[in-house]
Structure 1
Amino acid sequence: MDKEQLFQAAAQSIVDADESRAMHLLEESKREGFDLLEVLMDGFGAGNEVLGERFDKGVISLPELIYAAEVMKNITAKILEVLDEDQRERIVSDRGTIVLATVAGDVHDIGKGIVASTLRTAGFKVVDLGCEVKVETILDAAEKYDADIIGTSALLTSTLPEQKKLEKLLVERGEKERFITMVGGAPCTTRWARKIGADGYSENALDAVRVALELIERRKSRQEDSHEQTD
């Protein structure tokens, strides 16, 4: 099996939630001497992206999503165990640090889990706080981990105010400019993000990666322009 064939098979193992197949392909990658970081990003990671797309379109069921997400989590952990320190550093901190949480009052965690996994595969360091997290706890974690982005998920209309509450708390603490904020979840929209003062909205896992990269690049550009004006 050549590299491209192995990548395709690895992606399909995630889509099929076939952990036995995924682990077999990992062992084959080792025997063939393939770059395991590349296998994770372009092989298994590609399957994770397909998984996110299918879930967002309603093609796969919730149980299928749960099983597949667990396979992706386990294969990622297995690969990270054997990567050297430099490679691990490349995969967890190339892009920036993101703190993710489902807001207080909301127990939905699966969709956020897919977003977290996809962001990690894209090179972000992700701190996933889980579900039913108070805004104070979210902000404290962002400060602790010196996050670039705070991402919150609200799957219930009744919990949307928690996202607004976070924006208000950032202003009260004088940290609105320190952190980029992103929102997501079924009742969220771009309009809602603008209304509460969030920096971005993502509709699905792939969109979350795109928006996160854009927002970080935009902030870097502003910082560079500011430095040039100061000089």
Structure 2
Amino acid sequence: MSKLNVKRPFFMFNPKSYLYGEELLALAKVADEQAQKHPEMSIFVTAPFADLKAISDATEHIIVTAQHMDGIKPGRGMGHVLPESLYAAGARATFLNHAEQPLQLNEIVASVNRAKELGILTVVCADSMAEAKALATLSPDIILCEPTELIGTGQTSDASYIEQTNQAIREVDENILIMQAAGISSASDVYKTIEMGADGTGCTSGITNAESPKQMLIDMIDAAFSAYQAK
């Protein structure tokens, strides 16, 4: 199965478990409208497993993304997340090794390999330079460089960190897209992160906790697009 093509810049709305059901679906539809408005960029929306199919059925332009996937095959695996099940529900991408769902290296390898078999895009998280370089050898589609200590703090990675991680990953595999998203809390953070060289970025609490999550989502997507166009 062939993977979707990820266009730069890309933006990921990752509401984790802050949103679900109708509230999340409403924002996913907003993201879908923005993806149609900006066909030159890719927009991902992650969702709890139980919401993936409803979002997939109601949207056409976003990349519906799972929060996690296990490297198992149909058969035994009670309580694990089966890749074929995600694909059938409409997910075309998955996060792996997020700080809130860390994996052992052998588990990451298994999940990346299964994703490649099914044409599911992989967004693999790395919390250090060393981990980013090691994970790059697996050739995931996207590496999210996000120091764990900055997640949810409103403090973004600085330019030197972004430049160094970009260079380190591209020395291993120049085809990997690089996402920088630590501490993103405003549209200006999005703009600066893309301006400093990231292929994409994303946000959780900056959107879910905003006075108007819908408007913040729109503003961040517009900022990512504008920053990339200005480069």
TM-score scaled by length of structure 2: 0.36
Higher relative contact order (CA 8 A, sep 6+): 2
Larger CA Rg, structure 1 vs 2: 1
More strand by share: 2
Scaled by the length of structure 1, the TM-score of the pair is: 0.36
Larger helix proportion of the pair: 1
